[in-house]
Chain A
Amino acid sequence: MNALDLLLLTSLGTVLFSVVFSASLTGRMLLTMLYAVQTVILFQIDAGTEMVSSFGFEIFNHALGLSFNGLSWFFALITLGSAFFAAWYGLNQQQKLLHVGLSANVFSMLVLLSAGDFLSLFIAWELVSWSGVLLMVLGKQESLVATLKYITYAIAGGMAVFAGIILIYSWTGSLAFNAVTENPLSLSQYGTLAILLIGGFSVKMALLPFHLWQAEAYALTSGPASVFLGAISARMGLFAIVITMMHVVDLKTLDSIFLIPELFTFRDFLIWVAALSIILPTYTALRQNDARLLLAWHGIGQGGYMMLGLLMYDQMGSAGGLLHVFNYASCQAILFMSVFSILHRTGTTNLNQLGGLVARMPLSFLAMLVGIIGLAGLPPMNGFVSKWLVYRSLLSDGMAIVFLASVIGTLGTILSVYKLMHNSFLGQLRVEHEHVKEAPWSMTVPMMLLAIIIFITGVMPGISLELVANAQSAIGLTPVDYHLGGVVSANSAISGDLDMIWVVLVLFSGFGIAAILFLSAGKSRRVHQLDNYAGGHFLNANNQYQYSDNFYAGLMHIIKPWYRYSFKWFEGAVVSFVNLAAVFSRSFFNQAHMLIWMLVVVTTVMAVAII
């Protein structure tokens, strides 16, 4: 039995443990420890080489195998880390389904990550899809609606993947990962597979236009579930897309499939899908008034950066895309944690009914501050490094317009996360929140640990880039040239290096000098929040002296008409079409002479087949 077997067994054991013991606090503590144990076991697996599990069985003469390489390792670390922090954060949550769902998700994701052929990939894919449901139904009524929507999308995506895998089997006669690479197909066959597989997997990843389900499904459930789902769940789609690009249609093939002759290839199409997946959801997030939905919409937008980085397929781009999975997971987890600790203490995440909480919940504020700087991709947090890599790659490839699109996404993120922070933690504290306390230790400690991780991997990106480099070698790319502080660009079209240690050092020295200047000036006097300029009026506790609704009125005025409901319209059209088809087929089966009709159809089909 090797380390991979042990990992999978421990993970399965964790599921059983959670079924039996998650009712008690001690049980939940042990459960959290079990995720740490799994992480320790993960570190026993060498990320640089491929490890094959001794589990495996045969179906219809097909050997199903499980194996682990650098890419699986990288995603597995993020999965286990997210689960560990989510479980810790959820120590006080007594819902059993939450803990069972979490461990089931981790197990199914590990199986997916170690899938060794297309059939096990599909089985694990369905496991992941269905275990996701366990975590989504934990909220109120609204979460059920969102889950139903998710199931609809997931089934559609799963069927597309299934069709793709069947086609691979019928064209090559094998379900092994090397089936396609050993039996080259025609361009149209590659195109079909690309549409089915990448399309099917991108449902989970919530790339446009399959993104409408995700925000509600991830946000409206229980806190720790949101933390886990938001951090890693959708990235399984990215993993599967990488697998597709590695084993079925590589980017070179995608680049030779022209959608518009000589002008626009399938890869260009995917790049634009990724770019639009950055912009549109980010600006939808800007319009949200519920903190949870705002974050979940950003999750969709950030997925675009990862996709974009991978589609560049060079050293820096793919490193940026993969690194962003890690960085984004840490930032999104800490943000969801902070928002749910607000919900825990105040009972609402409505951004129009909060404000001024920094005075009552300083640690949650600090967590959110670190998280938003990371999510927006500003130095010194880790989000900056991965976005920098993606930008560099886009600039080296001369993709100025896509570069512009990704920066527009970042600017929108800055606006939106400021709104999140301002409306919840800054501004006037409301009367009803006067006696709110800081979130319990079980919530603040994991937040602070994550904040440290976000900062450390921002200052010393070499730590996480080492993992990324392993993943890059596993998918056959040249690993990025990294050092502890950042990257060097030895062989790229455009030169320019990054050393975060120096940048952060200088940044903090700047803050230090500014602080000395500030503190050496006259001593300031702290005033109450109602001691404020109010144009001659006297403020008292009953005045709502806060600006939160319609925060960017001037901007919204301009951009609102540009993309209003366009995708809702698309979704509505698909729903109407399916309804219509359902009505037809129902009336077909309700007919008195149905059998005769079926006979006619079957005969016709047979006749056509024979001719």
Chain B
Amino acid sequence: MHIGLGELLIELTLMPLVAFIVGMLMVLMMRRVGARLQRRVGPPFFQPLYDIIKLHSKETQISHGLIHDIGIIMAVGGYIAAETLLPVPGMNGIAEKGGLITLLYVMMIPSLGLALGVGQCANPNGSIGISRALTAMLAYDIPFVIVMAGVAFIYGTTNLVEVINIQQEGGIAAWGAVQMPFMALAGLFALQGMLGKQPFEVYVAPAEIATGPMVEMGGKYLGGLFVMQCFQLYTASVLYVTLFLGGGENWLFLLLKAFAVLLIPISIAFLFPRFKTDDLVRLMWKWPVLLGLIGLVLINYR
């Protein structure tokens, strides 16, 4: 599919913008679900937007140096770029010029940016938090990579546009979740870790603010990370839909599926106590990896 440069530029602008808006809605949903589970009302509709505006317009903004600033810019910018690699209905952006492997690695840039920024803050608590966050990344990325290998193998491509086409042409029977249920389950585990939400959020948990990456983050720095979180929720859930649930036939279906996918981890989330970092590693390297490997064997002997 060849499109003009102007059209491509519009896509490249729209894709991150839509991702941001949907991401804010996802944050809202997450908060509302959490509130309902705890028998609270939850925040109003525009609360995520209010939060972002509030944080960015604070009077006191504390910078610990240039790298602190650059780190936040990398964290947000990396995700903005990642959205253009993730095809959505009607818009492919540059998905065909990068593919799944590139997306995986572009998604690591925000983590690196955050890590750099926190490092420059010169607070040992922040550094401990980052060492935990990177360890967690190592933990959940291993099952995720197994899943990726399985997907590339079963569809015969690392091109996400083709992955979606194959699934949509074959109907529900061709969906990743039907073709490789073990992989889908392992992917769900990895997704939960990737979101950095309960019960795997020891490095950013509210109770751990003073001993985590957020310790020196305030104002627009925290605001930047809030924006990053919106992108993160959107990217992770849409990627899951793309790999396993046939992508989006149209925007309505895409959003329905993405919100449904996100609903699973966040409704389970509140049932479990928080995992310690090394327990998280043990858990991630045991069950999802096992499921993923079983999935791989099944794919091989299909």
A residues adjacent to B (C-beta < 8 A): 355-356, 358-359, 365, 369, 373, 376-379, 384, 388, 391-392, 395, 398, 400-401, 403-404, 407-408, 411-412, 414-415, 418-419, 421-422, 426-429, 485-486, 493-499, 502-503, 506-515, 517-518, 520-527, 529, 532-533, 535, 545-548, 551-555, 557-558
Contacts and interface: CB of A to CB of B under 8 A. Distances in A.
Contacts of B124: 427, 545-547
Given A404-B142, A521-B57, A378 B109 contact: yes
A511 B63 CA distance: 18
B158 A395 contact: yes
Interface string B9-37: 00010001000000000000000000000
Nearest to A377: B105
Contacts of A373: 112
A466 B69 CA distance: 38
Given A498-B97, A498-B99, A527-B64, A517 B278 contact: no
Contact of B135 (A355, A499, A510, A554): A554
A510 B79 contact: yes
B81 interface: yes
A414 B59 CA distance: 36
B50 to A, nearest CB: 15
Interface string B80-114: 11101100000001101111111001101100100
Contacts of A514: 72-77, 80, 224
B278 A554 contact: yes
A426 B120 contact: yes
Interface stretch (B148-156, B171-179, B238-246, B255-263): B148-156
Contacts of A512: 77
A529 B158 CA distance: 45
Contacts of A521: 56-57, 61, 219-220, 223
Given A496-B99, A503-B97, A509-B12, A404 B77 contact: no
Contact of A524 (B101, B102, B220, B227): B220
25 contacts: A358-B67, A377-B105, A378-B105, A378-B112, A379-B102, A414-B112, A426-B116, A427-B119, A485-B97, A494-B157, A496-B159, A498-B102, A507-B109, A510-B78, A510-B80, A511-B81, A514-B77, A515-B77, A521-B57, A532-B121, A533-B210, A552-B131, A553-B131, A555-B138, A558-B282
A422 B67 CA distance: 12
Given A395-B149, A401-B296, A546-B127, 7 more contacts: A400-B153, A415-B135, A493-B156, A507-B109, A514-B74, A523-B61, A533-B123
Contacts of B153: 395, 398, 400, 494
Contact of A526 (B63, B141, B157): B63
Interface of B: 12, 16, 56-65, 67, 69, 72-82, 84-85, 93-94, 96-102, 105-106, 108-109, 112, 115-116, 119-125, 127-128, 130-132, 134-135, 137-138, 141-142, 145-146, 149-150, 152-153, 156-159, 162, 210, 215-216, 219-221, 223-224, 227, 276-278, 281-282, 296, 300
Contacts of A511: 73-74, 77-78, 81
Contacts of B102: 379, 388, 498, 503
Nearest to B100: A496
Point out which of A373, A499, A510 has the most chain B C-beta atoms below 10 A from its C-beta: A510
B69 A518 contact: yes
A497 B97 contact: yes
Contacts of B223: 521
Nearest to B282: A558
Nearest to B156: A494
Among B138, B152, B221, B282, the most chain A Cβ lie within 10 Å of the Cβ of B152
Contacts of B59: 522
Contacts of B278: 554-555, 557-558
Contact of B12 (A404, A506, A520): A506
A524 B134 contact: no
B79 A499 contact: no
B84 A506 contact: yes
Nearest to A520: B56
Please give me the 3 A-B residue pairs with the lowest Cβ-Cβ distance, nearest first.
Answer: A426-B119, A510-B80, A496-B158
B78 to A, nearest CB: 6
A434 to B, nearest CB: 14
Contacts of A497: 96-97, 99, 159
A38 B201 CA distance: 56
